Structure 1
Amino acid sequence: MVIFSVLYPATPGASFDQAYYDATHIPLVKDAFGSSGLKDVQVFVGVSAPDGGPAPFVAMAHLAFEDAAAMQASLAGPRGGEVMADVANFTTIAPIAQVSTRD
């Protein structure tokens, strides 16, 4: 299994519309990538750092795909651009992406 993680760093002066993200963006991701191998999406909202200070990330999404080919088919597929363009509708934060594997 391949995990595509998108992290939104807490950035002074930046905006992040959690309601839009939950109600519109994540359903768009599921609809756009479901037929090309997306298996699961988990969203986490930053609460705090371990020492109780501010959370380093506003939110994180972890998209689980069958394999690397399914991830590439989704991200580079016909709706990948639509998903990426929607980011501007809910945040001014430049996201950080990482690809990982999970047994």
Structure 2
Amino acid sequence: MAKLIVSYANRDGAKFDRAYYEATHMALLDEHWAATGFLGWEVLYPADSGQPFAAMAILRFKDQPSIDASLGAPGTAAVVGDVPNFTDLEPTLFRTSN
């Protein structure tokens, strides 16, 4: 299994719609990446406002080539294009080696 971590570094005044993120945005991942080895997701939110991130998502894939295939899939444009609908924060991607 391979993982891709998507983090949203927080800043004062930032917007992050948790309900939209989980109900709508993550459904886009399920829809567009299921055929390319995407296995599922988990979202972590900070325990308090003093944390450096608004959210972090752990995306699980079959293997590293599945991450590449998902990021290169035609539906990825819809996934990326949806980001402004729930946040004004810039997502950062981090690949794990395990």
Fold match by TM threshold 0.5: yes
SS of the aligned residue for 1:12 comes to coil
- Moved beyond 4 Å, runs of 4+: none
CA distance in 1, matches of 2:42, 2:97: 15
CA distance in 2, matches of 1:79, 1:7: 20
**RMSD of the TM alignment (CA)?**
1.2
Match of 2:24 in 1: 24
* Pair 1:9-2:5 in alignment: no
Pairwise CA distance, 1:101: 2.5
Structure 2 residue identity aligned to 1:25? H
The gaps in structure 1 that reach 5 residues or longer are: none
* Pair 1:94-2:86 in alignment: no
CA distance in 1, matches of 2:47, 2:32: 29
* Equivalent residues, number: 98
Pairwise CA distance, 1:42: 0.8
* TM-score normalised according to structure 2 size: 0.93
**Alignment equivalent of 2:70, drawn from 53, 69, 74:** 74
CA distance in 2, matches of 1:61, 1:77: 19
- Residues 34-63 of structure 1 show CA distances to partners (whole Å, capped at 9, x for unaligned) of 111001211111113xxxx71111111011
Pairwise CA distance, 1:92: 0.2
The gaps in structure 2 that reach 5 residues or longer are: none
